[in-house]
Structure 1
Amino acid sequence: MGVMLRKQKKIGPITLHFTQNGFSSWSVKIGRWSWNSRAKAHRFDLPGPLHWKQDKS
């Protein structure tokens, strides 16, 4: 397995994700809530190392 190049560009609450093949996905994070365009799932950060995730279905 080779080395993978990943990069993120943050513009306010929106983060753009890039790989070596180009644009990959985008996400938005407001406070403890976030959403990712690839996973199409909502996520809420809980205290400590915990989080709650609602899948797209």
Structure 2
Amino acid sequence: MGIMFRKRKRYGPLILNFTENGFSSWTIKVGRWSWNSRARAHRVDLPGPLSWKQDKPRT
């Protein structure tokens, strides 16, 4: 496994994710709740190192 390049640009609640190949996905984060365009998943940050994730089935 080699070294991977990842970068995030944050514009308020909008986060743009980049990899070595360019633009990867975008995320909306409001408080403890977030939604990612690539995973199409809702995530809620819980206290400590825990989080809860609900995947949306792809159709």
TM-score, normalised via structure 1 length: 0.89
Pairwise CA distance, 1:17: 0.6
Matches of 2:17 and 2:51, distance apart in 1:
21
Q: Could you say what the CA RMSD is over the residues aligned between the two structures, in angstroms?
A: 1.0
* 2:2 matched residue in structure 1: 2
Q: Where in structure 2 are there 5+ consecutive unaligned residues?
A: none
Pairwise CA distance, 1:54: 0.6
* Runs of 4+, deviation exceeding 3 Å: none
How many residue pairs end up in the alignment? 57
Determine what percentage of the aligned residue pairs are the same residue.
72
Q: Where in structure 1 are there 5+ consecutive unaligned residues?
A: none
